[in-house]
C-alpha cells in the first residue's frame, strides 16, 4: 500500500478565482485526495494524494480536461522561483492556449466574413461553422467542469448563449461573441501575469552567482551552491548573494531592495547582511549564514505567496455570494426568455435574444476577482516597501484598527540601553557588576545584553554560572554562581521579597524619574546594588506616532517597565502609558482595548509574543530577522515606527480598491442589464461588458503596485 504523498503543480492558464474553484471542485471528487490548496495568483496547486486510489496521471488528466496545463515545478528554490514566475509573466501571449484560441477564432471569423461577402447565401452557414468550431474547446471545458462539480461555469454560460444564438439565427453575433470571449480570457491572463510581476520583482534581486573564497582561490559559483559557513567576496556594486555576517571589510550597503529603507547602512565586521542588498563602496568578506533556499528574500517571497493564497473575509463572502449568484442569474435569464412571451404574448425571438444577453452579462468573473486581485497587489506593494503582511485577513483588519499598542524597549526605543549608574550597597562595584553579567550572560533581553556589554567594556572577569539562569518573566533572573545564588530583577520584585529599605527605594525612584530603568542585584536575601540603564526613543518615534494620530488611530504604550521610566518616555512622545505589566496583564490590557474596536500590537516578536497573538493584528519590528518574518501577522523590515502608519495607510488603500472593484463589477452589470432588458444591448456588447469589467477590475487592482503610501 502506497503512503499518501504531497504533490505540487503549477497550473498554466489558471488566472482567476473561478478557474481555481473549478480545479478545487474537481480535485475534491477524486478518491484519496486531500489537503487541497489552489492559489490562482501563483498558478499553483498543492495536495496530498493516496496513489493507490488516484494516480498522479489521473490528477493531471483531470486538470487537462478542464482546459489547463499542469507542470511540475522546477528544482532548486532560487532558480525555481525565477523560472516559475518568468514562465508565468514573460511567455508570449500567442504561444499560450488562450492566445491560440484568440488567433483561431479570429481566423474563423475573418473567413466567415469573407464568405459572407463572396457568397451571401452561405453567410449564415459560414458564421455558424465559425461559432461551433470556435466553441469546441470552450464547450469541452464547460462539460468537464460540469462533470467535475462546477456546472455553473463561465464556459457553460458562454456555450449556452452561443448555441442559443445560433439556434435563433443570430450566428453572426454568436461568432463575434466567441471571438470576444477568447479575447477577454486572454486579457484576464495578461492582467493576472502583471499582478504576479509584484513577486517577480523580488525574485529578480536575487543574484545568480557568487564569488566563493576557498583558501587563496576565488571562484564563481551559482548561489544555490553556497553552504552555511562558506566565505564569499562581495565587491562594490555587487548584490549580496545570501544572508551572512561580515568578517572583514567596511562599507555602506543599500538595503532598500529588502527593507525599503532608502538610507545606506554602514557595515563592519560582525554586522548582519541580507541577500539582495547592494554593496556600495568597499569590498566585504562575508560568512554565509543561510542558504539560497532559506535566505531573507526567499523567505519573504514564500511568505507573500502564502499570504496571497489565503482568503480575506471579503473574498470569502464574495465566494459564497457567487455560488448563489450564478444559478440565480441562469434562473433570471430563463424568466426573461419565458415570462414576456407566455404572459404578455411578446415575440419569442426578441426575448430569447435578450435572455441570452442577460446570461452573458451575469457571468461573475469580475466580481469573484475583485477582492483577491486587490489583496494580491496590496501584499506585493507592501513587500516592495519592507511592509510584510501574512494574508488578506490581516491586511483587511489593519485598515480598521482604532488603537495601536506599542511595547517600549526595542519598539519605541532603540533597544540598545546603556548602563548609566551603578549604586553599590554591599561589596565592590566591579564585583557586583561582574556577578550581574554572569547571571545575564546568554540573555537576549536588551537590559541583560547591556549589562554584559558594560562588564566586558570594563574588562571584568565574568564568573561562570552553573546550569544557566532561571527566569521569572517580568520579575527576575537567577543563576547559581560559585559564591551562591545571585538574582537580577525588578525593584518591585525585590520589594516583594522585603529586601529594600526606604532609602534604597528613594534612590530607585530618583533614577526612574530620569527615565532610567533600574535593576536590583541580590545575593540570596542581601542586596548587592542597583544598576540603572537608559534606552533613548527611536529618532522616528515621535514622527511615526504623529502620523498614526493623523490617520485617526490612537497610539498607546504597554510595557513591563516601571511606571516612572515609562511615564518619562511616554511624556516625551505624548503617549498614554500602562506600565509594570506582567505578560498576563498585557493580555488583559489588550482585551480591554479590543472590546472598543480592533487593536494592533507592535513588539519585538519574542517577549511580546502572547500580546501579539491576542491582538487583532500583531506587528513585529525586526529588520528582516527570524522574529520579524515568523512572528505575528505583519512585520516591518525597515524596523521603523513610521512603518506602522504606512501599513495602515496601505491597508486602507487596499480596502478602498476592493470596494471600487466591487462597485465596478456590479455597476457595469447593472447598467448593461437594464439596457439589455430594453433591447439596447446586442450579444457582442454583453460579452464585452463582462470581459471589460474583469479587465477593468484587474487593472484597478494593479494600481496598488505603484501606490505611493502617504501618511
pLDDT at 363: 76
What is d(CA 128, CA 184) in angstroms, rounded to the nearest whole number?
21
147-166 pLDDT, tens digit per residue, is: 888 887 878 888 888 899 99
Determine the 3-state secondary structure of 262 from DSSP.
Answer: coil
Instruction: Output 82 or 369, whichever has higher pLDDT.
Output: 369
Instruction: Output 385 or 607, whichever has higher pLDDT.
Output: 385
Lowest mean pLDDT among 71-85, 376-390, 525-539: 71-85
Whether the pLDDT of residue 607 is over 90: the answer is no
Query: Are 225 and 241 within 8 A, CB to CB?
Result: no
612-653 pLDDT, tens digit per residue, is: 888 999 898 875 456 555 667 888 888 889 999 999 999 999
Q: How many CA atoms lie within 13 A of 478 on its CB side?
A: 12
Strand partners, 252: 266
pLDDT at 425: 92
Neighbours of 386 (CB within 10 A): 25
Query: Are 668 and 361 within 8 A, CB to CB?
Result: no
Instruction: Output 8 or 75, whichever has higher pLDDT.
Output: 8
Q: What are the DSSP calls for 564-619, one per residue?
A: HHHHHHHHHHT-EEE-S--HHHHHHHHHHHHTTS-EEEEE-SSTTHHHHHHSSEEE
Question: Would you name the residues annotated as active-site residues?
Answer: 407
pLDDT at 507: 92
275-306 pLDDT, tens digit per residue, is: 888 898 889 999 999 998 888 778 777 766 66
Please report the sign of the dihedral spanned by the C-alpha atoms of residue 182, residue 184, residue 187, residue 189.
negative
The residue assigned the cell 488583559 is 588
pLDDT at 243: 92
Quick one: three-class SS letters along 187-238? HHHHHHHHHHHHHHHHHCCCCCEEEEEECCEEEEEEHHHCCCCCEEEECCCC
- Length in residues, the chain: 711
Question: Which pLDDT band holds residue 710 (cuts at 50, 70, 90)?
Answer: low
Mean pLDDT computed over every residue of the chain: 84
Residues 6+ apart with CB under 8 A from 608: 407, 586, 601
Could you give the angle at the alpha carbon of 368 between the alpha carbons of 365 and 369, nearest 5°?
A: 85
pLDDT at 528: 92
Lowest mean pLDDT among 189-193, 232-236, 415-419, 673-677: 189-193
Question: Which pLDDT band holds residue 191 (cuts at 50, 70, 90)?
Answer: low
CB pairs under 8 A, 24+ apart, for 26-32? Answer: 26/62, 26/63, 26/66, 26/144, 26/145, 26/148, 26/149, 26/150, 27/59, 27/62, 28/149, 29/148, 29/149, 30/54, 30/58, 30/59, 30/62, 32/4
User: What's the maximum distance between 2 C-alpha atoms anywhere in the chain?
Assistant: 114
| Mean pLDDT value across residues 103-126 | 92
pLDDT at 180: 85
What is d(CA 691, CA 669) in angstroms, rounded to the nearest whole number?
11
pLDDT at 569: 87
What is d(CA 636, CA 382) in angstroms, rounded to the nearest whole number?
10
What is d(CA 250, CA 266) in angstroms, rounded to the nearest whole number?
8
Instruction: Output 475 or 661, whichever has higher pLDDT.
Output: 661
Phi and psi angles of residue 119, each rounded to the nearest 5 degrees, phi first: -135, 85
pLDDT at 627: 54
What is d(CA 534, CA 518) in angstroms, rounded to the nearest whole number?
9
Which strands form 476-481's sheet, in the order they lie side by side? 418-424, 526-534, 517-523, 484-489, 476-481, 466-472
Please report the sign of the dihedral spanned by the C-alpha atoms of residue 439, residue 445, residue 446, residue 447.
negative
> Nearest CA to 664 among 376, 381, 369, 379?
369
The residue assigned the cell 468573473 is 365
215-264 pLDDT, tens digit per residue, is: 888 999 999 899 999 999 999 989 999 999 999 999 988 887 776 666 68
Could you give the residue ranges of the DSSP H alpha helices within 418-501?
A: 429-440, 446-457, 491-496
| Mean pLDDT value across residues 521-543 | 90
Question: Which pLDDT band holds residue 75 (cuts at 50, 70, 90)?
Answer: very low
Residue 384 CA, chain-centre distance (Å), reads 11
Q: How far is CA 410 from CA 288, 356, 447, 604, 642, in A?
A: 26, 63, 10, 6, 14
311-345 pLDDT, tens digit per residue, is: 656 766 766 776 777 788 888 889 999 999 999 99
Most confident of 70-74, 258-262, 694-698: 694-698
Neighbours of 64 (CB within 10 A): 12
pLDDT at 89: 44
pLDDT at 12: 82
| Relative orientation angle of helices 541-550 and 642-677, to the nearest 10 degrees | 30
Q: What share of the chain is helix, strand, coil (3-state, %, to 5)?
A: 55, 20, 30
Query: Are 48 and 39 within 8 A, CB to CB?
Result: no
> Nearest CA to 440 among 419, 462, 409, 458?
462
pLDDT at 453: 92
Whether the pLDDT of residue 400 is over 90: the answer is yes
Whether the pLDDT of residue 551 is over 90: the answer is yes
Query: Are 477 and 447 within 8 A, CB to CB?
Result: no
37-63 pLDDT, tens digit per residue, is: 887 767 788 899 998 899 999 999 999
pLDDT at 348: 92
Determine the 3-state secondary structure of 410 from DSSP.
Answer: helix
Grid coordinates given for 484 = 551562591
538-549 pLDDT, tens digit per residue, is: 889 999 999 999
pLDDT at 80: 44
Give burial (CB, 10 Å; 0-12/13-18/19+) of 102. Answer: buried
pLDDT at 193: 67
Amino acid at each position: 500500500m502506497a503512503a499518501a504523498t504531497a504533490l505540487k503543480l503549477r497550473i498554466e492558464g489558471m488566472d482567476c478565482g473561478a478557474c481555481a474553484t473549478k480545479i478545487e471542485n474537481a480535485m475534491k471528487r477524486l478518491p484519496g485526495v486531500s489537503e487541497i490548496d489552489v492559489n490562482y495568483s501563483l498558478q499553483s496547486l498543492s495536495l496530498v494524494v493516496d496513489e493507490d486510489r488516484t494516480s498522479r496521471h489521473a490528477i493531471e488528466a483531470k486538470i487537462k480536461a478542464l482546459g489547463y496545463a499542469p507542470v511540475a515545478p522546477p528544482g532548486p528554490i532560487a532558480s525555481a522561483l525565477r523560472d516559475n514566475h518568468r514562465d508565468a509573466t514573460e511567455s508570449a501571449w500567442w504561444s499560450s492556449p488562450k492566445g491560440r484560441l484568440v488567433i483561431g477564432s479570429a481566423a474563423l471569423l475573418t473567413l466567415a466574413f469573407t464568405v459572407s461577402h463572396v457568397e451571401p447565401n452561405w453567410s449564415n452557414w459560414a458564421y455558424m461553422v465559425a461559432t461551433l468550431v470556435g466553441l469546441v474547446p470552450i464547450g469541452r471545458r464547460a462539460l468537464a467542469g460540469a462533470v467535475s462539480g462546477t456546472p455553473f461555469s463561465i464556459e457553460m454560460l458562454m456555450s449556452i448563449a452561443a448555441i442559443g444564438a445560433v439556434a435563433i439565427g443570430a450566428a453572426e453575433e454568436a461568432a463575434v461573441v466567441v471571438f470576444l470571449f477568447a479575447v477577454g480570457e486572454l486579457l484576464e491572463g495578461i492582467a493576472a501575469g502583471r499582478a504576479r510581476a509584484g513577486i517577480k520583482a523580488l525574485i529578480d534581486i536575487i543574484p545568480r552567482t557568487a564569488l566563493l573564497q576557498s583558501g587563496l582561490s576565488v571562484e564563481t559559483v551559482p548561489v544555490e551552491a553556497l553552504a552555511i559557513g562558506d566565505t564569499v567576496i562581495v565587491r562594490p556594486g555587487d548584490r549580496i548573494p545570501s544572508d551572512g555576517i561580515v568578517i572583514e571589510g567596511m562599507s555602506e550597503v543599500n538595503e532598500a531592495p529588502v527593507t525599503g529603507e532608502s538610507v545606506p547602512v554602514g557595515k563592519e565586521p560582525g554586522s548582519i547582511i541580507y541577500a539582495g542588498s547592494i554593496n556600495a563602496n568597499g569590498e566585504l568578506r562575508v560568512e554565509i549564514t543561510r542558504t539560497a533556499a532559506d535566505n531573507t528574500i526567499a523567505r519573504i517571497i514564500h511568505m507573500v505567496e502564502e499570504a496571497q493564497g489565503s482568503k480575506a473575509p471579503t473574498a470569502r463572502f464574495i465566494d459564497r455570494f457567487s455560488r448563489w449568484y450564478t444559478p440565480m442569474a441562469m434562473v433570471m435569464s430563463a424568466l426573461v426568455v419565458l415570462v414576456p412571451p407566455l404572459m404578455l404574448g411578446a415575440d419569442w425571438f426578441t426575448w430569447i435574444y435578450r435572455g441570452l444577453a442577460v446570461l452573458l452579462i451575469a457571468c461573475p468573473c469580475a466580481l469573484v476577482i475583485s477582492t483577491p486581485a486587490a489583496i494580491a497587489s496590496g501584499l506585493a506593494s507592501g513587500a516592495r516597501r519592507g511592509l510584510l503582511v501574512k494574508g488578506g485577513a490581516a491586511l483587511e483588519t489593519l485598515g480598521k484598527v482604532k488603537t495601536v499598542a506599542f511595547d517600549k524597549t526595542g519598539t519605541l526605543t532603540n533597544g540598545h540601553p546603556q548602563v548609566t549608574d551603578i549604586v553599590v550597597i554591599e561589596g565592590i562595584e566591579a564585583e557586583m557588576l561582574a556577578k550581574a553579567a554572569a547571571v545575564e550572560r546568554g540573555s537576549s533581553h536588551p537590559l541583560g545584553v547591556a549589562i554584559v556589554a558594560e562588564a566586558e567594556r570594563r574588562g571584568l572577569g565574568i564568573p561562570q554560572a552553573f546550569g544557566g539562569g532561571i527566569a521569572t518573566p517580568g520579575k527576575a533572573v537567577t543563576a547559581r554562581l560559585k559564591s551562591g545564588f545571585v538574582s537580577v530583577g525588578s525593584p518591585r520584585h525585590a520589594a516583594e521579597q522585603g529586601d529594600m529599605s526606604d532609602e534604597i527605594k528613594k534612590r530607585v525612584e530618583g533614577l526612574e524619574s530620569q527615565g532610567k530603568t533600574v535593576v536590583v542585584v541580590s545575593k540570596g536575601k542581601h542586596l548587592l546594588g542597583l544598576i540603572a540603564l537608559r534606552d533613548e526613543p527611536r529618532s522616528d518615534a515621535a514622527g511615526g506616532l504623529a502620523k498614526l494620530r493623523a490617520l485617526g488611530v490612537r497610539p498607546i504604550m504597554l510595557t513591563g517597565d516601571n511606571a516612572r521610566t515609562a511615564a518619562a518616555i511616554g511624556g516625551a512622545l505624548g503617549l498614554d502609558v500602562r506600565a509594570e505589566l506582567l505578560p498576563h496583564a498585557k493580555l488583559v490590557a489588550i482585551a480591554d482595548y479590543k472590546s472598543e474596536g480592533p487593536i494592533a500590537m507592535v513588539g519585538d516578536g519574542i517577549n511580546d509574543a502572547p500580546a501579539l497573538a491576542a491582538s487583532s493584528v500583531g506587528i513585529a519590528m525586526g529588520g528582516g530577522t527570524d522574529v520579524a518574518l515568523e512572528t505575528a501577522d505583519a512585520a516591518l523590515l525597515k524596523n521603523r515606527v513610521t512603518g506602522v502608519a504606512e501599513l495602515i495607510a496601505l491597508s486602507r488603500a487596499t480596502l478602498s480598491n476592493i470596494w471600487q472593484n466591487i462597485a465596478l463589477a456590479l455597476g457595469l452589470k447593472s447598467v448593461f442589464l437594464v439596457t439589455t432588458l430594453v433591447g439596447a444591448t446586442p450579444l457582442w456588447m454583453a460579452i464585452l461588458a463582462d470581459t471589460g469589467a474583469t479587465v477593468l477590475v484587474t487593472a484597478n487592482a494593479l494600481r496598488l503596485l505603484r501606490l505611493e503610501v502617504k501618511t
